[in-house]
Structure 1
Amino acid sequence: MGRLLIPGPLPERILFAEPLRRRMRVRFGGTWIVDSEDVVLLHEPGRYPVAYFLREDVGPGVLEQAEHTTHHRDLGRTSWFTVRAGDQSKQRAAWQHVDLPDYAEDLKDRVAFAWRAMDAFFEEDERIVGHAADAYHRIDIRSTSRHLIVRNGDHTVADSKRPVVLYESGFAPRWYVPRDDVDGAALAPGKGQTFCPYKGLASYYDIGDAKRAAWSYENAWDGVRRISGMVSFEPDEIEVLLDGVRLRMEPGQNVVSHGVDRNLDLDEARDPGT
């Protein structure tokens, strides 16, 4: 949400590639098809980070050249592969940019794998869920004694002087309230769940006629364990006051739960494995 203090305009699109500096492995067909400490992470506008592996680090017989090719607007012609291992195969499950411009040589002789087409991705022995981990995505949780009140008309849904605030890269602050400070009778289970690769699985609540006006990570992942079971409220659906000032929706507060480069479902979050 910030801006660069430079005199001229930036190009419309900027791609950023950097060494991951972590061992990364890919599992498919019940076997490890890649095990590499030489991984390049590509950041591209409008997409999640993508890991690129050296072809030489991919197991023999894993990649089968397909006739299908596409054209990347910045990186040129892209060849696609069928991925095979054991008795399993997936068409168009990996790709390589084969006509790279000089400025993109960091990706030369490297291949990427479609996240949802693989069984799993790991950093060392821990599974990475959702997409390649973004080193620039940070979450900080802070305790506060500020007074947070949530109202539905004349009814007070929550009243707390001990909420916590969650700061997440690229998003507006979110305020979470302990369950003891929430009128549980006002929360009716809402429709659907969503999955955050950094926090886990979120369940939703309706408050009166306000649909999905609140949510909770009942079993938040280790990095954000402090918010497990706490409740946060959507300020465009319900009245939320912080120190007497009503909160409003801010840029970066809406979340798109389904990414453009993966079919994001909840299976990974329910059973991420080890």
Structure 2
Amino acid sequence: MVKHGLDPADRRRPEHLSAPELAARHQAMEAFLHVAGPQLDHLHGLVGLSGCNVLLTDAQGVVLDQRVSDSDAAQFRDWGLWRGAVWSEAAQGTNGIGTCLAEGRQVTIHRDEHFHTRNTAMSCMDAPIWGPDGRLLAALDVSSARADQTERYNRLIQAQVAQTARAIEAMFFRFSFPQARIVMASDDQTDQAVLLAVDRDDLAIGATRAARRVLGLEREGALRPRPAADLLGRQDELRGFDKGERAAVIRALARASGNVSAAARALGIGRATLYRRMARLGIGDNPGGLSQP
């Protein structure tokens, strides 16, 4: 690429980070790599026997983790598709990992679509992974060493790569908000995880990149807490303390399986008092179809 000063005939292998540099990047991504590991295992179990290498990079295109069969390892190592290698578009021109990260979208770079001629023996299928802060976090790559790999088969692998990337993104989002409940923020068909993290006060405190886009929230960075009901379109006539009291009463009834006497004890009030508050707050004798006392 002219803008990066690259020569397509350059036969040099990709740059590799030193051991200390790679260790530092691993440490910075330790939690994410821990969450992603089982998904890499599963993906390699699906595609590994067909001569594929599964790689996970950071946002700069550095390979941090991989899964590869022993029989294919030498070939991929020779190509530089290995831990510590730098596969950014600035370093390697058009390639699966670098182009995926540069454009923030799923890509398939098939054989001679690669910029460097030394990379035209491989096919690469990639999907981006977005962090809980809405920023690009990683790329998931499956590269094939098979000379007879067809574009139709590549499409099947690409679908599996995209699905695995979505699963990793959703799992890491949940991991990042351990005390919150995770709510699906949209019923629309989408190829991304549209999730909100909601705290005990029903405030939305986190959102995936797709949820931020769908709900018109901050594109990146920390999320300003907002009532989840406002974001999800739930409206009622109660406001202020009445709304909070109604939620508290309903939670107590749910925990008591609808037993009003048990719910009243949990709230520290009498049974008759609870019935009066239920009537004032518009809560029926059997909210949500719960069992009767």
TM-score (ref. length: structure 1): 0.25
Larger proportion of strand: 1
TM-score (ref. length: structure 2): 0.24
Larger proportion of helix: 2
State the structure with more CA Rg: 2
